[in-house]
Amino acid sequence: MSDRLLVLVRHGQSEWNLKNLFTGWKDPGLTEQGIAEAKAAGRKLKEQGLSFDLAFTSVLTRAQHTLDLMLAEIGQTGLPTQKNLALNERDYGDLSGLNKDDARKKWGEDQVLIWRRSYDVAPPGGESLKDTLARALPYYVQEILPCVLRGQRVLVAAHGNSLRALIMVLEKLTPEQIVKRELATGAPVIYRLNADSTVASKLDLAA
């Protein structure tokens, strides 16, 4: 049952999530709620009887802290972990650090919605979801997927948009479908893969 296990977790609530700010590559920490979410995610994984051989995360604090808290709950502190900016959140460019309501006042509701929810339109100085996929997907294919297919149990703690890139491929979603896909903070999604890298089963622990 433990073969070809891949678990994706979006980091717990960050200080800027709470303040309704565009975060991107900025590096705020977790809120108290975010810490609680990360610990709860770890407990959910433990309840499923899961343990891991290695982990992947971004170079941003909120994802790394979430991973550490989950591993502490599972009893696997010190798990071999690879950190790479390929798994970073989408770069929001000029929007980073701005309150989302203020951004709407500056650029208009429609334009901000396009930047947030389109597949291939990037905000000024930033990345579109398509751009994020262009860096996250090769990393997944070259570094993460081979480990899973070798039978290693892999935990990935990252961000809403970098994880969307992986989910788009795993679940064969269209650009229109992936932009509508919501990922709850601190909610593990458990995939078991077939030998050909397609999804054999999926369990979303957000519920």
Say how far apart CA 131 and CA 133 lie, in whole Å.
5
Domain edges within the chain? 5-204
**Can you read off the two tokens belonging to residue 133?**
């996929």
Read off the pLDDT band of 179 (50, 70, 90).
Answer: confident
| Confidence check: pLDDT of 149 > 80 | yes
pTM for this predicted structure: 0.95
Please, are residues 38 and 12 in contact by the beta-carbon 8 Å criterion?
yes
Q: Residue 205's CB: how many other CB atoms inside 10 A?
A: 18
| Residue positions annotated with a catalytic role | 11, 89
pLDDT at 43: 97
Please, are residues 101 and 20 in contact by the beta-carbon 8 Å criterion?
yes
Domain 5-204 sits in which CATH superfamily? Answer: Phosphoglycerate mutase-like (3.40.50.1240)
pLDDT at 207: 58
Backbone phi and psi for residue 128, each to the nearest 5 degrees, phi listed first: -85, 170
Residue pointed to by tokens 């990922």:
183
pLDDT at 1: 46
Q: Find the helix or strand (DSSP H, E) in which 136 lies.
A: helix 129-139
